[in-house]
Every structure is written in C-alpha cells, then in structure tokens.
Amino acid sequence: VGVGPGDAELMTLKALRVLKACSVIAVPDSGRDGEGLAESIVKQALGKDLGQKEFLRLKLPMTKDVNELRKARKLAAKNIVKRLEDGTDVAFVTIGDPLFYSTFSPLVPYVKDACPKAVVSVVPGVMSVSATAAALLTPLSEASEKVAIIPATYGVEEVRDAIEEFDVVVLMKVNRSLDRILGLLDEFGLSDSAAFVSKASWPDEEVVRDVRKLRGETPGYFSMMVIRKKEGAEK
C-alpha cells in the first residue's frame, strides 16, 4: 500500500480502506533516518481507527551486499507469511508508490516463494516526484517533453547524458551527490533552471530555487532536484 509522500491527506481513499481492514501493518525498516515516516503517516491517517493493529517492522537494509539482502528479504517474507498462514491479511506500506524505488517489489518473489497461495495486490500511492513538482509549482512535463528520473546511484556522466537528451531531469536521493550536481549545472549554465525540494508535502517542506546556495550543504535523505531546461507554460 502506497501511503503517499508525507502529508497524510495525500493517502488515497483505497489505501485508507485497506489499512483499516488489515490487522497487521508491515513497515520496512532500513535503519535510516526518517524511515518511521510510513508508520507515522499510517497512524495519522487511521486516527481512532488504529485500534489494536500490529506494526510488523521488517529489517530491510539498504545495502549492495546481495547475500545480506537475500537473507533480510527471506526473513521479512517469513514473518509476513506467518501472519498470512494464520489467516491474517498483511498491508505492507511504503512511502509514495510501492512500485517506484521501494523495498516492496524485491520482496514479493520471496513471499510468493514461501507461500505460493499468497494473493498480492498493489494500492498505488502519490509519488514523491508528484509532491515535489507540486511544491515547486513546476510541470514535470508538458506537451511532448521527455522526462528522466534518475536515482543517486548515477555517476555525473549519466546525469550529463540525461541533461543532454531530456527536457526535464529529476534527481532522486540528490543529497548523496549534491556538490557534483551543482558543478554540472554550472557547467551547463543550468543553475537557474534547477530547483531543490526536501520533504515535499511535510510540514517542514523546504524549497530552494537558487540552488547555488546549497553548495557545501548536506541535505537529508528526503530530497530531490528538478532540472527543467525550458520554462513551463505557466511561467
């Protein structure tokens, strides 16, 4: 179940209905700052309907170590399947959308493997990219514009290629490579065409339109940059 980018009002009616119906709510825990966000959105949205729900916190570390990932996913799936076999539906919640850079999709094969009868369905959520565009009042795309969305595992060369090829480039997890990206924007003369958002839709959302000011800063994990080569039509 995608619970949206932060503001509990951005959770869909369907997500809310499913969460109300499930007595077990599984939450990914990567040990990273702000990870409790999905759980807090759920608690806020459910309010007095929270009742006696069990929050099943699943350790799903952010690592490139394949063995560690496999082990963690297997254990998480085992915990989920235990509830399913008891006849309990489990809602696995993710920030934004479950099928967009989330811990949900890699887990599904493990659940199916451990319990082939398990029925898996997805409730889409409002993605952080949409919340970021809303915070900026900037269209992600207009008419025939092409958009690239790139995670921070990119090298500068990939961003360079994307800037050359696409009209709009969205950089996820931009906190990891901010200074390199700022250098690239300078080089392309695009510093005025980029904007930065952290914690879109949260009460402490931050929008930085003059990205040069970010030099030397170390923003948090929930941050994104949008590079738009042409002005949007409304501007």
Ligand X SMILES: C[S@@+](CC[C@H](N)C(=O)[O-])C[C@H]1O[C@@H](n2cnc3c(N)ncnc32)[C@H](O)[C@@H]1O
Residues that bind ligand X (CB under 6 A): 5-6, 94-97, 100-102, 127-128, 131-132, 172-173, 197-202, 221-224
Phi-psi region of 50 (alpha: psi -120 to 50; beta: other; left: phi over 0): alpha
> From CA 21, how far away is CA 124, in angstroms rounded?
17
CB of 118 to ligand X, least distance (A): 22
CB of 51 to ligand X, least distance (A): 27
CB of 40 to ligand X, least distance (A): 13
31 vs 51, beta carbon nearer ligand X = 31
CB of 151 to ligand X, least distance (A): 8
Secondary structure (DSSP) of 126-144? --HHHHHHHHHT--S--TT
Residues with Cβ < 8 Å from 109, sequence gap 6 or more? none
58 vs 84, beta carbon nearer ligand X = 58
84 vs 93, beta carbon nearer ligand X = 93
10 vs 84, beta carbon nearer ligand X = 10
Q: For Cα atoms 195, 29, 83, give the angle at the middle one, nearest 5 degrees.
A: 135
**End-to-end C-alpha distance for the chain, whole angstroms:** 35
